[in-house]
Copies of this chain bind each other. A is one copy, B any other.
């Protein structure tokens, strides 16, 4: 079975986010005065083969812990959906 995982990786709330601060500065400079705070993170879409939802969840969770996120400063969450029709191009 083919699965689509969508992984969200954000800096932990206690960690300084210079990219977010820089974006907020840019938005203020463009006149968006209503912007109060900005946090920047990563969105990673993974298509994978796995025999079951449980196997896919285990695999994605391990990918996050080992490569996609830095557990010291980042937190992650993901959603998993089954791809009902396999894409034509692999």
Contact = CB atoms under 8 A, between A and B. Distances in A.
Given A36-B47, A44-B39, A30 B66 contact: yes
Interface in A40-90: 40-50, 59, 62-63, 66-68, 90
Nearest to A67: B26
A41 B44 contact: yes
- Interface of chain A: mostly helix, strand, loop or mixed: strand
A67 B36 contact: no
A38 interface: yes
B42 A59 contact: no
Interface of A: 2, 8-10, 20, 23, 26-27, 30, 32, 34-50, 59, 62-63, 66-68, 90
